[in-house]
C-alpha cells in the first residue's frame, strides 16, 4: 500500500516523499539555498532558480 504523499522540492524541483524532515525541501542544502534567496531578495522569478546542467 502506498500511503505517502509526494511533493516537489521548492528549490531543485525533485520529487520527494513527505517523510523528509526538511519539507517542503528535499534536503538541508535546498532549504539553505531557499533561505539565502529570501535573504538576498532574489525570490521573485521562481521559474529561473536553478538551471540543471
What residue has cell string 538576498?
Answer: 40
Nearer to Zn ion, 12 or 49 (CB): 12
Of the residues 5, 8, 15, 30, which one makes contact with Zn ion according to CB under 5 A: 30
Stretch of 10-18, 34-42, 44-52 lying at the interface with Zn ion (CB under 5 A): 10-18
Cβ-proximal residues to 30 (8 Å cutoff; 6+ apart), any chain: 9, 10, 11, 12, 22
Q: Work out whether 34 is an interface residue with Zn ion (CB under 5 A).
A: no
Does residue 24 have a cis bond before it (omega within 30 degrees)? yes
- Which residue ranges make up the site for Zn ion (CB under 5 A)? 9, 11-12, 26, 30
Amino acid at each position: 500500500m502506498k500511503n505517502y504523499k509526494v511533493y516537489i522540492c521548492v528549490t531543485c524541483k525533485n520529487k520527494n516523499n513527505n517523510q523528509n524532515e526538511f519539507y517542503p525541501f528535499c534536503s538541508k542544502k535546498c532549504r539553505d539555498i531557499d533561505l539565502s534567496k529570501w535573504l538576498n531578495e532574489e525570490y521573485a522569478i521562481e521559474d529561473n532558480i536553478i538551471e540543471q546542467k
